[in-house]
C-alpha cells in the first residue's frame, strides 16, 4: 500500500500496490503493521456499506461525538463518489479545513479519516456503493452532523445535491 498524506493532518489517501498476472490482480487493502507505522488506527470494529441509487446523492457531513469518535477507512466498490472530510479538532493546525478526492471502483483508492473529522460524499454515478471500515461501533446518541453547505467551511461540491435527506439538510451552522 502507498500512504500519501492529505492536506489535512492525520488523513491519508491510500493507493493499492497491485500485483497483476493473467488471472487478474491481488492487492492488500489493509495491513495492521503498515497502519501502525503511520500512526493510524487499525482496530476496526465495524464495517458498513452505503448503497446510493442516484448520481448526485449527497450524504453528510457526519461524525460521532468525542467519547465515540470514529476513524474510518473508506473505499468505493461500485461507481464513484466525491469524498469530503473536514477537520473538527480545535487543536489541529488544519482545524476547519476540508479535503476532497474522487474515490472510484476503478481507481481503487481509499481514504483514511482520523477521529475528530466529519465525513460526507456526493455520488458521481448511479448505483454507487461505499464500503467503510470503522474503528468504533455506531452509537446513535453520539451521532452528529454538519450541513453540507455550511459557510464556515466553503466546500466546493461538484454540483448541488439531487438527493439529500431532511436530516442532512437541517443541520445547524458550525459553532467552533
The catalytic residue positions are 62, 132
Eight-class DSSP state of 139:
-
Ordered strands of the 2-5 beta sheet: 2-5, 12-15, 110-113, 72-78, 128-134, 46-52
Write a three-state SS string for 47-101.
EEEEEECCCCEEEEEEEECHHHCCCEEEEEEECEEEEEEEECCCCCCCCCCEEEE
Contact between 48 and 130 under an 8 Å Cβ cutoff? The reply is no
Amino acid at each position: 500500500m502507498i500512504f500519501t498524506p492529505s492536506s489535512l493532518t492525520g488523513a491519508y489517501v491510500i493507493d493499492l500496490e497491485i500485483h497483476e498476472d493473467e488471472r487478474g490482480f491481488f492487492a492488500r487493502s489493509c495491513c495492521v503493521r503498515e497502519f501502525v507505522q503511520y500512526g493510524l488506527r487499525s482496530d476496526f470494529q465495524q464495517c458498513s456499506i452505503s448503497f446510493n441509487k442516484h448520481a448526485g446523492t449527497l450524504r453528510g457531513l457526519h461524525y460521532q461525538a468525542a467519547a465515540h469518535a470514529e476513524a474510518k477507512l473508506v473505499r468505493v466498490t461500485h461507481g464513484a463518489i466525491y469524498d469530503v472530510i473536514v477537520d473538527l479538532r480545535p487543536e489541529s493546525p488544519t482545524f476547519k479545513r476540508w479535503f476532497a478526492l474522487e474515490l472510484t471502483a476503478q481507481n481503487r483508492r481509499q481514504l483514511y479519516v482520523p477521529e475528530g473529522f466529519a465525513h460526507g460524499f456526493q455520488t458521481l454515478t448511479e448505483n454507487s456503493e461505499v464500503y467503510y471500515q470503522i474503528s468504533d461501533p455506531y452509537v446513535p446518541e453520539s451521532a452528529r452532523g454538519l450541513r453540507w453547505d455550511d459557510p464556515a467551511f466553503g466546500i466546493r461540491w461538484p454540483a448541488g445535491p439531487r438527493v439529500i435527506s431532511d436530516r442532512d439538510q437541517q443541520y445547524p451552522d458550525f459553532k467552533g
